[in-house]
Amino acid sequence: MAETRDRIIVATNELFRRHGYNGTSLSQISEAANATIGSIYHFFPGGKEALAVAVIETTGTIYRELFESIAREAPDPASAYVDFFAGAAAVLEESDYIDPCPIGTVAREVANTSEPLRIAAAKIFDSWINAVTQHLVEAGVCTEQAAELGQVFVATVEGMFVLSRTQRSTASLESAGRSLGQLVTQAIDDTTRTPTS
């Protein structure tokens, strides 16, 4: 059995994906993680908020690495984005449309009420945008446009999670993959036509 601290984080992650931050109680976490509330406070003296920060940071890192892995293995830059949305669609269907990403859910809930959580989420979003920007720059897109597409990609991912979860359908995720792929392809073409280097 995994370490207690890890079990707490994993259980909290899944409960946040299902019920959000305010909809998840410490007693639920305690039960799902097979750890007492005393244990939770032992590892996270800052309570629920500190635990949530840890969940955001660990999950955020995993997702950045997932994107980088998909990007590395994609046959060409544009298809990395199509593949990412296809993967997300599979996760949603297999998980009965539980939210794939606790970060967006929590961030939207508490952005006006918890600065520690807002800032933790903002840093993760920045790291994702940077990963995409770097990927596109390596594909030949100029820095400015790459950063812009990075923002649009992250927003589209988060927005698609809201939409597909609410509609209980993954149809829209395919549309998103195609649209993002098209934007990336066009960005690469544009740069090729008017090279700055």
Partner DNA sequence: GTCTATACCAAGATAGAC
Partner DNA sequence: GTCTATCTTGGTATAGAC
Name the residues that contact DNA, by CB under 7 A.
Answer: 4, 24-28, 35-39, 41-43, 47-49
What does 39 interact with, of DNA, a second copy, none (CB < 5 to 8 A by kind)? DNA
Question: Coil, strand or helix: which one is 196?
Answer: coil
Q: Which stretch binds a second copy (CB under 8 A): 1-9, 12-20, 42-50, 63-71?
A: 12-20
Interatomic CA distance for residues 183 and 148, integer angstroms? 11
Q: How far is CA 64 from CA 57, 68, 142, 183, in A?
A: 11, 6, 21, 21
Interatomic CA distance for residues 186 and 154, integer angstroms? 18
Closest approach, Cβ 49 to DNA, in A, equals: 6
Asked if residue 61 binds a second copy (CB under 8 A), the reply is no
Interatomic CA distance for residues 100 and 17, integer angstroms? 7
Residues engaged in binding a second copy (CB under 8 A) = 18-23, 96-99, 104-105, 107-113, 118, 121-122, 125-126, 148-149, 151-152, 154-163, 165-168, 171-172, 175-176, 178-179, 182-183, 186
